[in-house]
Structure 1
C-alpha cells in the first residue's frame, strides 16, 4: 500500500473509561508504537495543557506519548495567535471547568491578556446578584483595566464615545475551553458582552434590534467573537448514562439568546472540536507532520544500522529483502503523503460524522470506525445512518485496529503474538 496512516482515535470511551484503560487499549498503542504506524490522539476533552494531559495519559495507558501526536479540543486555538487578526496582545475572556487553569493554559499558549469570569465578578459583584459557586470564583486576579460603570442604565441612545471608553476594560474574544461549572455566572457575563457596544461591559449596543441592519443588528457592533472548543452534547463518564457536556452549555446559551433577541437572531459563534472541519483539517496537518517525523527517524535508523536488506513500509511494517507486502511496496521516506486515515471513535455525532464529512486537502481517504465502549450503544442514541453511519462497527479499539489492518492487506500472522492478540 502507499502511505497509510492512522488511526486517529478518540480517548474517552475508546482508550479510557473513567481514567482506566479499556481492555486492549494499552496493547494497541504499544503495537502501533513498536511497528512505527503513525497515529494521533484526537479528543474533544480539554481543560489541561497538552503537556500535562499527555503526561497523565502516558501514565494511565503505560505507553510513551508526546504532544507531537496529540490534539485536544482547544489545541487549534493556538493558531489565533498568528496572522493579521492575531489575538496575542488582545484581551480575551476564558472560561471552563477551572478558571485559573484556563488562564494558565492560554498564557502558556501565548495569549498575553487573559481574564476570567471570576476576575470580573471580583471587580464588580453586582454583575451577578446571586451567590456564585465559590469554589470556582474564589481564585481571581486584578483586571488589566477597570470596568466601565455607567451613571444611568445603558440604552441604545446612550452609548459612550470612544474617548470615554478608552480607559476601561474591552473584551476582544470569548473562549469556552471545556465544560463550564458555573453556568449561571458565565451565562450572565457572556450575555452582557454579546449585548455590549464593542466588548465593553456596562454598555448596550445602539445596533441591537435595528431592523435595517444584517441580523437585525445583533452582534454587529464590535462585540467579542465567541469560540467554543467542543460541541459534544453528551460524554461517557462514571454514571451509567452519558452526562451533559460543553455542547449542552452551548445549547443553553443559544436558547437564551433566542429569547433575549425575541427570536430575531441566532447566536453567532465559532465552533471547533469534533465534528467540525477546522479541527479535522488541523488534525490531518498534525498527523502528516508526525508521520514525516516517524519516517525520518526510520530512515535515519536504517542508514545508521547499515541495514541494506531491511526497509520499512509507509505503515511501519517490516519487509525483508525489499519485498513489499503492501499494494505498492513503497519504502519509508517515499514522496507520497497520507493516503488513508482511520478514525476510531465512540460518538457517531462527533467522531463518525466528522470523519465522514471531512474532505482532505491532500486527497486522503478517511475511514470511520465506531466502537461500542463509549457513548454509543446499540438501541440507544443516534441511528447509524447518513452522516452518522460508520464504515464498520466493532466491539473495541483492539477490534478496530485489527479491522483496519485486514483492510490494508495485513495477514493475521503479521500481528499475531505481537502485543495485539
Structure 2
C-alpha cells in the first residue's frame, strides 16, 4: 500500500514482560494442549523447519486445499517442526486451532499457531499497560474480537457497534445494521457528551483486530477519535490545522495510538478473484485521513499508526522463537542448530516479502516458497513484486522442494 499519509512501523512492538501465570514464552491466553508430535528416538533430527500461511495455502475460505492434510501429516510423522503463521484473525487462537485441526484431520496446538493480532496480548502489561484503559476494538464478526481482547486481559473494551447502539446518529447510513449491532452491543462505560467532555466516553487506544464489516461506521468512529481532543468522543481538537505545531497540529493533542494487525491488501476467498482484506480498510483510513486533513496551507499531516503481521519483522521474529522453542521441546539437547525455515505462502506482498527481508538474530536462513493456490496467479509476462526462491503448484510441491533442498532422507510422494 502506498499512501503518503500513513506511517507504517516495522518496529511496532518491543518485547514486554510476561505475567507469572504465563507459560514461559507463550502468551497468557494460549491454553496448553496435547503435543502434536510423537517422535521415535531413532528418527533423524532435521535442521530445518516450516512456516505455513493458512488462507490460500492450507485452506481456501473454509475448504481444505488438495494435499494440505497429507503434507502436514507427513511432517508430523517425520518430526519435522512447523508453525502456522497467518495474517488472519478475529477468533481466539484455541478456536482457530480446533477448527483447522478438524478441517485438516490433524492434531495441532496453540503453541504452533500465530495470528496477526496475537502480539496484542503483550500490551496488557509492560510499557503500554493498557489492561484497564478503554480500548476501541474494530473489525471481526459480531463481538468476537471483543471476546479475544478480553481473553488477552483487556478489561474495558468498546466496539463501534456499542457506540452505534447508544448513539445511532453517529452513522446515519448504518441503519440496515441496527439489528446486527443490537445482537452483541453492550452499554458504554460513559455516553458521548460533548457538553461535558469530562463525562464523555474517552478512548485510550484503537485496535483493528480483523476486517471491518461496516466500513462506513468504523471509518467514521476512527476519524472521530483521531481528530478529537485526547480521545474524548464528541470533541474536536483545537490544535488541528495549527501550522505552528508539528504535523500541522494533528495528533498533537493526546489522541490515542492506532494499531493495525494485518496489512494484507488482498486475500484468497471463494471468489475466483482475490478480495480486499484488512489492508484495503487500512488504505481507506489513510485516504480518508488525507481528504479530511489536507489543506493548501500545510502539507498533508501524517497518520501515525503501528502495524504488525506479515511482512513486518516482529511477526517473523516471534515465529522463529516459537519454532526454536518447539524444536527444543521435541528434540531436547540433541537438536542441531536450526539452519533453515521454509516460508510457504500465497501472497508475495506479505509472505514472500517478509521472509526475504527478515534478518534472523539466530542466523537462520528464511527461504520463501510461493504457491499458486491463493492470491498469486501466474500471468504471462508478470512476475511477483517480491521474488521467492521458487514458485510451486501447492503446499505439497513446496514441501517436496524443501526436502530435496535440505537433503532429507525421505521424500513426499
- What range describes the TM-score normalised by the shorter chain of this pair? 0.7 to 0.9
Deviation at 1:135, TM superposition (A): 5.1
Alignment match of 2:199 (pick from 137, 155, 167): 167
Aligned to 1:373: 373
Q: Where in structure 1 do 4 or more consecutive aligned residues deviate above 4 Å?
A: none
Separation of aligned partners in 1, 2:300 and 2:63: 46
Alignment match of 1:200 (pick from 204, 211, 232): 232
Separation of aligned partners in 1, 2:98 and 2:382: 33
Alignment match of 1:225 (pick from 257, 266, 271): 257
Q: 1:50-94 deviations in whole A, cap 9, x for unaligned?
A: 000000000000011110100011111111122122111111000
2:400 aligns to what SS in structure 1? Answer: helix
Does the 8 Å CA contact 1:4/1:341 hold for their aligned counterparts? no
Separation of aligned partners in 1, 2:200 and 2:383: 51
Q: Figure out how many residues of one structure are paired with residues of the other and give that number.
A: 364
Question: Quick one: structure 1 residues 267 and 64, their matched pair in 2 at CA, closer, same or farther if it must change by over 3 Å?
Answer: same
Aligned to 1:316: none
Question: Quick one: structure 1 residues 24 and 217, their matched pair in 2 at CA, closer, same or farther if it must change by over 3 Å?
Answer: same
Aligned to 1:273: 309
Alignment match of 1:119 (pick from 147, 162, 172): 162
Deviation at 1:18, TM superposition (A): 2.7
Alignment match of 1:103 (pick from 130, 142, 146): 146
Does the 8 Å CA contact 1:103/1:114 hold for their aligned counterparts? yes
2:303 aligns to what SS in structure 1? Answer: coil
Aligned to 1:189: 221
Does the 8 Å CA contact 2:149/2:157 hold for their aligned counterparts? yes
Larger Rg computed on CA atoms: 1
Aligned to 1:22: 65
Aligned to 1:292: 328
Question: Quick one: structure 1 residues 2 and 60, their matched pair in 2 at CA, closer, same or farther if it must change by over 3 Å?
Answer: closer
Alignment match of 2:404 (pick from 395, 403, 406): 406
Does the 8 Å CA contact 2:327/2:335 hold for their aligned counterparts? no
Question: Quick one: structure 1 residues 198 and 248, their matched pair in 2 at CA, closer, same or farther if it must change by over 3 Å?
Answer: same
With normalisation by structure 1, the TM-score equals 0.83
Separation of aligned partners in 2, 1:59 and 1:248: 30
Gaps of 5+ in 2: 1-43
Question: Aligned-pair RMSD on alpha carbons?
Answer: 1.9
Question: Quick one: structure 1 residues 362 and 105, their matched pair in 2 at CA, closer, same or farther if it must change by over 3 Å?
Answer: same
Aligned to 1:50: 93
Alignment of 1:238-249 (within 5 A): 238-249=270-281
Deviation at 1:253, TM superposition (A): 1.0
1:270 aligns to what SS in structure 2? Answer: strand
Does the 8 Å CA contact 1:99/1:117 hold for their aligned counterparts? no
Q: 1:131-175 deviations in whole A, cap 9, x for unaligned?
A: 33235422210112232323xxxxxxxxxxxxx644332111111
